[in-house]
Each structure stands twice: as C-alpha cells, then as structure tokens.
Amino acid sequence: MQETNPRVDVRGLWVRFGEVAAVQGVDVAAHAGWATALLGRNGAGKSTTMRVLAGVIPPTEGLVAVDGVDVRRDPLAVKRLTGYCPDVGGLVPRATPWEHLQLAARLRGLQGWEARGRDQLERFGLGDVAHRVTSGFSHGMGRRLSVLLAAFHEPAVLLLDEPFDGVDPLGVEATLEAIADARARGAAVLVSTHLRELAMEACTEALVLRGGARVASLAASDLAGEEGAGVYRALLD
Ligand SMILES: Nc1ncnc2c1ncn2[C@@H]1O[C@H](COP(=O)(O)OP(=O)(O)OP(=O)(O)O)[C@@H](O)[C@H]1O
C-alpha cells in the first residue's frame, strides 16, 4: 500500500499559542488508503494538529504538506484537498442539511451531486430532516452531518475530529462506511477520537500524542482488545 509521496507529510510540527506549546515536534506520515487514529488525553494536541492539516491555523514551525502541497505556501489549495470535520461547530445554524450540501457543491464546483447527496443523507439517517434547519439538531445529528459534509467532495485527505462523539450505532456505521469508502478510493484518513475500540475498528495505524508530543506510532492492531487497552494506558501515563 505504501507509495513514495505520502498524502500527509508532517515533520517537526510545532504550534504555539502565546505561552502554550500545543504541539511540540510532531511527525505524521499517512499514505493513500491508510486510516490513522490520533489518540491521546484531553489537551494532547490532537485537534490542533488536525486544524493545521485542514489549513485552518498555520504551523508555528515545521513542514506540513498535504498531497505534496505545503500548507504554509498554499493554505487554500490544502483546504481544497482536505475534507475536515471539526471537533465543534462548522455548521450554519439557519441552514438545512440540503442547503449545506448546496453550499459545499457550489464552493467545490461539484456537478450532478444531487442524487448522491440524497443517498448520503439517507445513509447518515438525515433524510427525514434534510430540510430542517440545523439549529434544532441534537449533538449526534450535527456530528453525522459534519462527517457527511467532510467526505462529500471525496477529498484526498479526510480529517475527522471526534466523529463518533455522541453518535448512535447507525451513525457510527455510516461513519465507518465513509472512512472505508475514502480509503478505497485512495484517500488518507485521520481520525481523532477518545474511543479506542472504535478507532481500532476504523483505522489501520495509530499515533499517540502526550503533552503535544508524539509518544508512539503503531499498527492499530497493537492497540486493539484488552491487551491493546493496557498498551494504550501505559502510553498515557
Ligand atoms: N486557540 C488556542 N489558544 C490557546 N491555547 C490553545 C488553543 N487551542 C488549543 N490550545 C491549547 O493547546 C493544547 C492542545 O489542545 P488540543 O485542543 O489540540 O488538544 P486535544 O488533544 O484535541 O484535546 P481534547 O481531547 O480535549 O479535544 C491545550 O493545552 C489547549 O488548551
């Protein structure tokens, strides 16, 4: 599966917010067809790493390339190459799921997307609420729509920050399918989550962050099951 140019190539990433060093020298390499779990305790630097990869905040130091594009040089191109489900927010409260899809299609220049849009809304259990404004959505409904939108334009890199948080079993299934589909068409997927077992089901690789630094890079299978739980706990202490 490995190829010469990784879809995601992060080397020596530092992100500082004033006095706070949120990310401290992190390396990430993710290839086409990989799904990588980003794990670690609250405040470990997972969301900040995701935000840099999505082109939302700039790196303070280090190289960050998405599909060979340097995020510092061309953050707009990186935004085009990535699909990003942020950990919170991202939806327009007064817009419906269908309007979100229309907006995404217009911004991304997608043609003939309507049938797929309807299919995706059904897959994520949002068909019945396709024309209801999202301000009344439950947390899990909002998560499901955010994952759908992130994957909708079939990006080269799919970034899902806490996609399973508060999501019901059917929503989890739809999200796992979206990850599998993205991998099958050659995208690299990064999934930040606290749900280790689900992450191991969804992913092939795992990165563990602690205090902003990478403490382990493993095969997802190394963190699966009871034995994996012990390995993970030891990495967090
Ligand atoms: N905009 C910001 N300004 C100041 N500090 C920030 C900012 N964003 C993140 N931080 C700090 O950076 C560190 C890493 O935060 P980050 O959100 O990346 O962690 P995380 O691993 O995603 O945590 P969680 O699992 O709780 O979502 C924390 O100490 C956090 O307080």
- Asked if pLDDT for residue 3 goes beyond 80, the answer is no
**Mutation pick for ligand 1 pocket among 13, 16, 42 (CB with most ligand atoms within 8 Å):** 42
Q: To the nearest whole percent, how much of the chain has pLDDT over 70? A: 98
Task: Specify which of 87-91, 105-109, 154-158, 223-227 reaches the highest per-range mean pLDDT.
Answer: 154-158
CA-nearest residue, atom 11 of ligand 1: 22
- Render pLDDT for 171-227 as a digit per residue (tens, 0 to 9): 999 999 999 999 999 999 999 999 999 999 999 999 999 999 999 999 999 999 999
Average pLDDT, the chain: 94
Mind listing the domains of the chain with CATH numbers? 8-87+137-236 (3.40.50.300)
Region 49-66: mean pLDDT is 95
Q: Look at 29 and 237; give whichever has higher pLDDT.
A: 29
CA torsion sign for 124, 126, 127, 131 is: negative
Question: Whole-angstrom Cα distance, residue 102 to residue 46?
Answer: 30
- pLDDT class of 71 with cuts at 50, 70, 90: very high
Among protein residues, the one whose CA lies closest to atom 10 of ligand 1? 22
Q: What is the pLDDT of residue 5?
A: 77
Ligand 1 atom with least separation from CA of 38: 21
Region of 153 please: left (phi>0), alpha (psi -120 to 50) or beta. alpha
Of 26, 3, 54, whose CA–CA distance to 214 is shortest? 26
The answer, yes or no, to whether ipTM is higher than 0.90 is: yes
What pLDDT does 19 receive?
A: 94
Whether the pLDDT of residue 77 is over 80: the answer is yes
**Do residues 91 and 140 lie in contact, with contact meaning Cβ atoms separated by under 8 Å?**
no
The residues near 227 (Cβ < 8 Å, ≥ 6 apart) are none
Q: What is the SS3 assignment for the chain?
A: CCCCCCCEEEEEEEEEECCEEEEEEEEEEECCCCEEEEECCCCCCHHHHHHHHCCCCCCCEEEEEECCEECCCCHHHHHHHEEEECCCCCCCCCCCHHHHHHHHHHHHCCCCCHHHHHHHHHHCCCHHHCCCCHHHCCHHHHHHHHHHHHHHCCCCEEEEECCCCCCCHHHHHHHHHHHHHHHHCCCEEEEECCCHHHHHHHCCEEEEEECCEEEEEEEHHHHCHHHHHHHHHHHHC
pLDDT of residue 4: 61
Confidence bin at 2 (pLDDT 50/70/90): low
pLDDT above 60 (res 66): yes
Q: How far is the CA of 122 from the centre of ligand 1 (A)?
A: 34
Residue nearest ligand 1's atom 19 by CA: 43
- Identify whether the C-beta of residue 81 lies closer than 8 Å to the C-beta of residue 156: yes
* Model confidence at 89: pLDDT above 90: no
> Which residue's CA is the closest to the ligand 1 atom numbered 26?
42
> Residue with structure tokens 């508060």?
166
